[in-house]
Amino acid sequence: MSVLTAAGSRMSAVTQGIAFAALAAASLSTAGFIAKQLVDDGTPGVVVAFYEVAFGLLFLTAARARSLRSGLRLERGVLRWIVIAGICFALATASFYTALASIDFSVGAPIVGVVPLVSYAFVLIVLRGHERLTVRSVLGATLVVGGVALIGAAN
For residues 155 and 110, is the Cβ–Cβ distance under 8 A?
A: yes
Q: What does the alpha-carbon distance between residue 29 and residue 116 come to, in Å, rounded to a whole number? A: 16
Answer yes or no: do 18 and 89 share one domain.
yes
- Per-residue pLDDT tens digits for 31-70: 989 999 999 999 999 999 999 999 988 988 888 777 767 7
- Per-residue pLDDT tens digits for 68-80: 677 667 777 888 8
Domain membership of residue 91 (yes or no) is yes
Contacts within 8 Å (CB) and 24+ apart, 119-125: none
| Structural domains in the chain (count) | 2
Q: Is the pLDDT at 6 greater than 70, yes or no? A: no
Answer yes or no: do 53 and 92 share one domain.
yes
- Per-residue pLDDT tens digits for 112-154: 877 777 877 777 787 777 777 788 877 887 887 788 778 767 7
Q: What is the mean pLDDT of the chain?
A: 82
Answer yes or no: do 76 and 134 share one domain.
no
Domain membership of residue 89 (yes or no) is yes
Answer yes or no: do 86 and 155 share one domain.
no
- State whether the Cα torsion 136-137-140-141 is positive or negative: negative
- By mean pLDDT, which of 18-27, 89-98, 131-140 is the weakest? 131-140
Nearest to 22, CA basis, from 32, 33, 34, 14:
14
Answer yes or no: do 33 and 99 share one domain.
yes
Domain membership of residue 108 (yes or no) is no
Q: Is the pLDDT at 88 greater than 80, yes or no? A: yes
Q: Enumerate helices (H) and strands (E) in the chain, giving the number of each.
A: 7, 0
For residues 74 and 13, is the Cβ–Cβ distance under 8 A?
A: no
Domain membership of residue 1 (yes or no) is no
Highest mean pLDDT among 6-10, 26-30, 111-115: 26-30
Q: What's the farthest any 2 CA atoms get from each other in the chain?
A: 52
Question: Rounded to whole angstroms, what are the CA distances from 115 to 44, 109, 151?
Answer: 24, 11, 15
For residue 8, the model assigns a pLDDT of: 59
**pTM here?**
0.70
